[in-house]
Chain A
Amino acid sequence: MAGAGGGNDIQWCFSQVKGAVDDDVAEADIISTVEFNYSGELLATGDKGGRVVIFQQEQENKIQSHSRGEYNVYSTFQSHEPEFDYLKSLEIEEKINKIRWLPQKNAAQFLLSTNDKTIKLWKISERDKRPEGYNLKEEDGRYRDPTTVTTLRVPVFRPMDLMVEASPRRIFANAHTYHINSISINSDYETYLSADDLRINLWHLEITDRSFNIVDIKPANMEELTEVITAAEFHPNSCNTFVYSSSKGTIRLCDMRAAALCDRHSKLFEEPEDPSNRSFFSEIISSISDVKFSHSGRYMMTRDYLSVKIWDLNMENRPVETYQVHEYLRSKLCSLYENDCIFDKFECCWNGSDSVVMTGSYNNFFRMFDRNTKRDITLEASRENNKPRTVLKPRKVCASGKRKKDEISVDSLDFNKKILHTAWHPKENIIAVATTNNLYIFQDKVN
């Protein structure tokens, strides 16, 4: 099978790879989040070192339509720095947990980036002109001797080399005791939510000194804690609706019109556990690591350790579709527990038309599932195929027994090479896949 895609089969081709080639990965370079903006023109990545790198798609090739434009570095800035909480003697990591773009309202671009404790609103603006012809200053800024000024002129703007500046416009701090795992911008484009392990807060983009707590699952007695919030997202169309997922594998949909504190859900999505699969690690693998609404708002997708599930918002008792990502790992859970891989939080994403979903796996594999054709494909992000427009070859993991040619056995999978973060262009078949410290961009083959 060549590819997954509605109707015509898509063939995925290598386009670009960003990042260092070394095998020795500096910890600060580990990519921790990837996100396209609303138009798809910009692609932002955040890393463990607290930096944000934004790539911009070039416009030139679009006219030729031989291939879509390449993404080149547009802006790089240090979003968060490591901090130290003196009260609790805890270091606060600068790792960027999530980036979310705001829709563009003027010439500048805005995005929210967050680490464990603080959310920042960044303005990314271009400067391609500068004023020249001051009366009192030379071009290099030195002040002129006033006695030499004999005429007056009006400064004019002259073109200059493009400069992209990022400046923090708002800092939303001190609202989370626990580690922030999600931020989500409301469809009203004025408010957004931030979620940590036990609470969800609602913010207004203009107001930094207060936020509203809308969900609080912290028990009065912490000893009774049984579950934590793992992800949260606003509905794409209904500004009063949001969902949050838990470590127990449940998703709660809440309506902010019902009450100020949305501790009581409007809907609870939960699939009964299959008793035949019970093990020591059942609870861990049922913990949901990501939840994403479809663009239409009718469905939502959840990712747990071994599978991706699609839920219809109108049906709470079970998902409408379930896709196994790497079921061959089920017998390896103990080893994966030992090496901590079982705690990896994979993300998932929809394509623009909600017909295909994608998520990552190990060995730098990532998987796509076509909801219409029910076909799936496994591809690999590797520098071996790095000639542009090289069609990616589907990969296959052999779960047991005889390994066919070109298949990879489970035991030879590299569990240090994991793809946790992927993003799909909102309109086109362009995907961004993050390996540990590299960002791969793949496109569908355009003839």
Chain B
Amino acid sequence: MEFKLEAHRIVSISLGKIYNSRVQRGGIKLHKNLLVSLVLRSARQVYLSDPCPGLYLAGPTGIPTVPPPQQPGEPVAGPPSGWGEPPPPSARAALPEPEPQPQRPSVCHTPGAGSSEPVAAVAGAGDALRGGEADSAAAAWGRVERPRAVASGGGSDTCPEGPRAVRRPCGCPPAREEQPAEDGSPAPPAPCPRKRGAAGVGGGRAGCPAAPGSTPLKKPRRNSEEQPSTGEEDTDEEMETGNVANLISIFGSSFSGLLRKSPAVGREGEEAEESGPEAAEPGQICCDKPVLRDMSPWSTAIVAF
């Protein structure tokens, strides 16, 4: 739990830095922002991977599912459990943030694309609640991260270990195919909870385990698209003021940063982390993922160049 808090704090700090970098004299510093985004990614991973006992309905903590083989440029199939596999880089590029963003397509930042780490960009994935974990996990965090998920009846989405595990592998392919441009939503598995929510079903869908059918998933995803934007906005502010202050006071100062990144967990973390940062973005209209923010100057640079 401590790690989660610390990770959260680091995420908040990182977002603040990225935010402030926009107004720095001399233009955005690519190097520094790249490093900050790497820290952001790590913190998210840790945050998502740190198992909180009791959050899972079943199964061992830190779902040990074997991550699907990474392919360069693949967003990594996936965090098991509903976080939603990161959409493939291209898709990701196409979108990724849970909230609609003007730059979304170009913004998706995939640091280490090609590496085994899931790209941070998976916004949508982040949103997806990973089974029960997200719901309960840091209620505040969950609230922020994904209003959608919560709305979807966080707790209701009880994807038991089994299905979750199943989901994962399923998730990959669908995730890859499914990349709705606008929505960051990750693969079907991921959206399970979300979908449910979006669909307004408390728990209805038994099915994440079901197949990774893309079609049925698309709809809910789109529906859910709207939710986050508004939802997150409020939660952002809330998160920003309430939680951060609490966390900082709870946690104190130095963190030795000793968490190791474990690949499987890390991946899961990626997605979830993604949404976190966005949510925590101060004053941001959710639509701007911190990473995105990184990207916008780059996009500008690209365009200009």
Listed in ascending order, the chain A residues whose CB lies under 8 Å from chain B are: 85, 87-88, 90-93, 95, 116, 177-179, 181, 197-198, 221-228, 230, 247, 275, 278-284, 287, 331-335, 337-338, 340, 343
For residue B72, which residue of chain A has the nearest CB? Answer: A224
Contacting residues, chain A, for B6 (C-beta < 8 A): 334
* Pairwise interchain contact A334-B10, C-beta atoms closer than 8 A: yes
* Pairwise interchain contact B89-A221, C-beta atoms closer than 8 A: yes
Distance from B43 Cβ to chain A, minimum over Cβ atoms (Å): 6
Evaluate whether A228 and B301 lie within 8 angstroms (CB atoms) in the complex, with A280-B42, A337-B10 already known.
no
1/0 per residue, CB under 8 A from A, across B87-127: the answer is 00100110000000000001111111111000101000000
Q: A223-B108, A281-B257 are in contact. List 16 more A-B contacts (CB 8 A).
A: A116-B27, A178-B30, A221-B93, A223-B93, A223-B109, A223-B110, A223-B113, A225-B111, A247-B31, A280-B257, A283-B35, A331-B256, A333-B256, A334-B255, A334-B257, A337-B39
Distance from B285 Cβ to chain A, minimum over Cβ atoms (Å): 21
* Pairwise interchain contact A224-B89, C-beta atoms closer than 8 A: yes
Contacting residues, chain A, for B106 (C-beta < 8 A): 222-223
Evaluate whether A179 and B113 lie within 8 angstroms (CB atoms) in the complex, with A222-B298, A332-B254 already known.
no
Distance from A340 Cβ to chain B, minimum over Cβ atoms (Å): 8
Number of A-B contacts (CB under 8 A): 129
Contacting residues, chain B, for A279 (C-beta < 8 A): 256-259
Name the one of B38, B89, B255 contacting A223, with C-beta atoms under 8 angstroms. Answer: B89
Name the one of A87, A223, A275, A338 contacting B304, with C-beta atoms under 8 angstroms. Answer: A87
* Pairwise interchain contact B27-A92, C-beta atoms closer than 8 A: yes
A140, B258: Cα distance in complex, Å: 74
B32 sits at the interface (CB 8 A) = yes
Distance from B74 Cβ to chain A, minimum over Cβ atoms (Å): 12
* Pairwise interchain contact A331-B31, C-beta atoms closer than 8 A: no
A281, B255: Cα distance in complex, Å: 11
For residue B292, which residue of chain A has the nearest CB? Answer: A223
Evaluate whether A335 and B89 lie within 8 angstroms (CB atoms) in the complex, with A91-B25, A280-B46 already known.
no
Distance from B3 Cβ to chain A, minimum over Cβ atoms (Å): 10
Evaluate whether A278 and B39 lie within 8 angstroms (CB atoms) in the complex, with A179-B30, A331-B254 already known.
no
A331, B298: Cα distance in complex, Å: 33
Contacting residues, chain B, for A337 (C-beta < 8 A): 10, 13, 39
B299 sits at the interface (CB 8 A) = yes
Contacting residues, chain B, for A91 (C-beta < 8 A): 25-27
Distance from B270 Cβ to chain A, minimum over Cβ atoms (Å): 14
A261, B107: Cα distance in complex, Å: 28
Contacting residues, chain A, for B302 (C-beta < 8 A): 222
For residue A247, which residue of chain B has the nearest CB? Answer: B31
* Pairwise interchain contact B43-A223, C-beta atoms closer than 8 A: no
Distance from B26 Cβ to chain A, minimum over Cβ atoms (Å): 4
B219 sits at the interface (CB 8 A) = no
Name the one of A92, A223, A275 contacting B92, with C-beta atoms under 8 angstroms. Answer: A223
A88, B26: Cα distance in complex, Å: 11
* Pairwise interchain contact B34-A247, C-beta atoms closer than 8 A: yes
Contacting residues, chain B, for A181 (C-beta < 8 A): 31
Interfacial residues of chain B within 254-304, with CB under 8 A of chain A in the complex: 254-261, 295, 298-302, 304
A247, B108: Cα distance in complex, Å: 21
For residue B115, which residue of chain A has the nearest CB? Answer: A226
A340, B14: Cα distance in complex, Å: 10
A11, B271: Cα distance in complex, Å: 56
Name the one of B34, B89, B300 contacting A228, with C-beta atoms under 8 angstroms. Answer: B34
Evaluate whether A278 and B261 lie within 8 angstroms (CB atoms) in the complex, with A222-B298, A331-B256, A334-B255 already known.
yes
Could you list some 28 contacts between A and B, CB below 8 A?
A85-B27, A90-B26, A91-B25, A91-B26, A91-B27, A116-B27, A177-B304, A178-B30, A179-B26, A179-B27, A221-B113, A222-B299, A223-B295, A224-B111, A225-B34, A227-B34, A247-B31, A247-B35, A278-B260, A280-B7, A280-B42, A282-B257, A283-B38, A333-B256, A335-B253, A335-B254, A337-B10, A337-B39
A392, B260: Cα distance in complex, Å: 42
Most A CB contacts (10 A, CB to CB) among B26, B73, B259 go to: B26
Evaluate whether A224 and B113 lie within 8 angstroms (CB atoms) in the complex, with A177-B301, A334-B253 already known.
yes
A181, B29: Cα distance in complex, Å: 11
* Pairwise interchain contact B304-A281, C-beta atoms closer than 8 A: no
A85, B7: Cα distance in complex, Å: 38
A264, B22: Cα distance in complex, Å: 33
Distance from A223 Cβ to chain B, minimum over Cβ atoms (Å): 5
Contacting residues, chain A, for B13 (C-beta < 8 A): 337-338
For residue A345, which residue of chain B has the nearest CB? Answer: B31
Contacting residues, chain A, for B300 (C-beta < 8 A): 88
A278, B119: Cα distance in complex, Å: 19
* Pairwise interchain contact A116-B26, C-beta atoms closer than 8 A: yes
Distance from A403 Cβ to chain B, minimum over Cβ atoms (Å): 18
Contacting residues, chain B, for A335 (C-beta < 8 A): 253-254
Contacting residues, chain A, for B299 (C-beta < 8 A): 222
Distance from A346 Cβ to chain B, minimum over Cβ atoms (Å): 14
Distance from B137 Cβ to chain A, minimum over Cβ atoms (Å): 19
Contacting residues, chain B, for A223 (C-beta < 8 A): 89, 92-93, 106-110, 113, 119, 121, 295
* Pairwise interchain contact A178-B301, C-beta atoms closer than 8 A: yes
Contacting residues, chain B, for A178 (C-beta < 8 A): 30, 301
Name the one of A198, A221, A227, A334 contacting B254, with C-beta atoms under 8 angstroms. Answer: A334
* Pairwise interchain contact A198-B30, C-beta atoms closer than 8 A: yes
Distance from B88 Cβ to chain A, minimum over Cβ atoms (Å): 12
Distance from A362 Cβ to chain B, minimum over Cβ atoms (Å): 16
For residue A278, which residue of chain B has the nearest CB? Answer: B260
A322, B179: Cα distance in complex, Å: 47
Name the one of A225, A283, A331 contacting B39, with C-beta atoms under 8 angstroms. Answer: A283
For residue A221, which residue of chain B has the nearest CB? Answer: B93
* Pairwise interchain contact B305-A177, C-beta atoms closer than 8 A: yes
A340, B119: Cα distance in complex, Å: 25
